[in-house]
Amino acid sequence: MQNRKLKIGIVVGEVSGDTLGAKLIRSFREQGIDAEFEGIGGPQMLAEGFKSYYPMDILSVMGIVEVLKDIKKLFAVRDGLVETWSKDPVDIFIGIDAPDFNLRLSKSLKRKHLPIKTVQYVSPSVWAWRQGRVHGIKATIDLVLCLFPFEKAFYQKWQVPAAFVGHPLAGQLPLENALDDAKQELGLDLQQKHIALLPGSRRGEIEKLGPLVLDAAQILHQKYSNYQFLIPAINDARKQQIDALLQSYPQSLQDQIRVLENRDTESKIGRQVMNASNIIALASGTATLEAMLLHRPMVTFYKLNWLTYHVVKFLIKIPYYSLPNIIAGKKVIQELIQADATPEKLAAEIEALMHVETAQIQAMQHITMHKQLLAGNSENPVDAILNIL
């Protein structure tokens, strides 16, 4: 292995995975590992010289019903990667998040008896729901890289090889985080108060959740005309989609909403907008952890297709949906899920966070959890991956 270049396959399906993938590629190089990377990546990974066979957006599908609509396309992508790596195998395949796709891809590679080690970076939420998946993971994954210590403990119970590598953002984001500095970075008025609205980065999420956040903004605007609303757009297509939605709202509200489009390969506009805001309202997902590590007051929400939601609700094993609440083991942020995700309730929860005492209590809880994540005895992900070779 030392005499030739290491070949590593990586597949990501969204911005957070692209961020982890780019950091992982840089980590390999920083440790002097001669490697080339290919598979499916986003702009951050492409900037690191990654070779992507398909656009990352092709995997940006959530929910059971939504996936079924695109199932043929997803199978074709999976089969295409399997064919490519059957002819010219990578040494290691690393699936970053996107577990429904990546675990199936790992299974397909194992069935071909290819000399490829398989890694799942970011554990699927098997500890939360569909725990039976752990048997499939044990059979097809050589190593799980866990972001949280409780995940490694879960896998140890099932004799699945796992390493706790921590969440890179926990060390990257400071414990002291000045709001004014963040506002200045985006060229915002320091005297203005801002509310971040994040309906998601996928087309389908903005389609479903965009009207929810804009309706809530309209309710708040009628009561608090001094607040400005910030919406991040990961690319030009999402910005156009948000701008089109805004056309059906009063001009007075449009004047108080800024849609900020991502302008660099790091895809960090969502983080910048959250960091510069006094209050955050965001779709439940990995971004809730990022918001927690920024220590800003927040409320989270989500709506799925009704069939998907009822299937998930039947299978889920824990009382919370958002990562801050799961990590804390108690409700530290408000969750508005499905029928509770209404403009009126979202506006009311944002209004509650306008009270200084409520906001300060939540911010202190976020800092406490941030310190807990930093205190974990994490391993180097590159070392953990190389060890399975």
Q: Mean per-residue pLDDT for 103-111?
A: 96
Q: Which residues pair with 120 in a beta bridge?
A: 95, 144
Work out whether strand 334-337 and strand 298-302 pair parallel, antiparallel, or are unpaired: parallel
Residue 103, amino acid: L
Domain boundaries, the chain: 6-170+377-387, 172-374
6-170+377-387 placed in CATH 3.40.640.10: no
Tell me: pLDDT of 68 over 70: no
Residue 73 pLDDT grade (very low, low, confident, very high; cuts 50, 70, 90): confident
172-374 placed in CATH 3.40.50.1580: no
- CA–CA distance, 240 with 233 (Å, rounded to integer): 9
* Full-model pTM: 0.74
Burial bucket for residue 14 (CB in 10 Å: 0-12, 13-18, 19+): buried
Q: Please give the angle made by the CA atoms of 168, 169 and 170, to the nearest 5 degrees.
A: 90
pLDDT, tens only, 325-352: 888 888 999 999 988 999 999 999 999 9
Q: Which residues pair with 63 in a beta bridge?
A: none
Q: Please give the angle made by the CA atoms of 343, 298 and 202, to the nearest 5 degrees.
A: 65
Predicted pLDDT at 108: 97
Work out whether strand 143-146 and strand 117-121 pair parallel, antiparallel, or are unpaired: parallel
Tell me: pLDDT of 1 over 50: no
Decide if 6-170+377-387 and 172-374 have a common fold: yes
Q: Mean per-residue pLDDT for 37-46?
A: 96
pLDDT, tens only, 240-277: 999 999 999 999 999 999 999 988 777 789 999 999 99
